[in-house]
């Protein structure tokens, strides 16, 4: 819980990199709404237009505060370095969420550098990668359950 959240006056720019069908985007927008936090600008970036359409439809069914904006952008994480994939978006980002995406790229390190290129000096990145051992373990779990 954020103490006195409704009295905070700031702007936060968030990039959901590889946002897919919107789980992280919707969760963040809903939590900010529930906590009366405004001034949050979320950019949902994904390669798939179909996934973006699903995310937009899911978000539209929520009662999200008018103080929270969400922009849906079709593009690649790798295109972030030239910054042209985000027209009209305010850079840099204060927080970047990238879950289960970078390991799908031909060069995950290049993807991480692309994210860093649009991160504010004071910013943070939340990142998760799948490993061969973890996916092998999940396969074993599914087989034996």
CATH code (residue 50): 3.40.50.150
pLDDT of amino acid 97:
94
pLDDT of amino acid 134:
57
Range of the domain at 119: 5-144
Is residue 46 classed exposed, middle or buried when 0-12, 13-18 and 19+ CB atoms within 10 A define those classes? buried
Tally of structural domains, the chain: 1
pLDDT of amino acid 145:
43
Among left, alpha and beta (phi > 0; psi -120 to 50; other), residue 95 is beta
pLDDT of amino acid 108:
87
Q: What is the residue whose two structure tokens read 């991480």? A: 112
Cα angle, residue 35 at apex, residues 63 and 70 outer, rounded to 5°: 50
Residue partners of 43: CB distance under 8 A and separation at least 6: 13, 14, 15, 16, 70, 71, 73, 86, 89, 93
Tell me the average confidence (pLDDT) per consecutive run of 10 residues in the chain, 145 residues long. Answer: 53 94 96 92 96 97 91 92 73 91 87 92 88 56 50
């Amino acid at each position: 819980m954020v103490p006195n959240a409704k009295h905070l006056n700031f702007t936060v720019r968030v990039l959901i990199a590889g946002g897919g069908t919107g789980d992280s985007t919707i969760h963040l927008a809903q939590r900010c709404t529930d906590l009366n936090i405004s001034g949050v600008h979320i950019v949902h970036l994904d390669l798939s237009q179909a996934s973006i359409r699903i995310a937009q439809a899911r978000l539209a069914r929520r009662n999200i505060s008018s103080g929270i904006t969400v922009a849906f952008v079709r593009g690649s994480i790798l295109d972030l370095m030239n910054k042209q994939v985000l027209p009209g978006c305010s850079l840099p980002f204060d927080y970047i969420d990238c879950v289960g995406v970078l390991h799908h790229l031909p060069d995950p390190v290049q993807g991480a550098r692309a994210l860093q290129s649009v991160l504010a000096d004071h910013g943070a990145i939340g990142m998760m990668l799948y490993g061969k051992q973890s996916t092998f373990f999940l396969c074993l779990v599914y087989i034996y359950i």
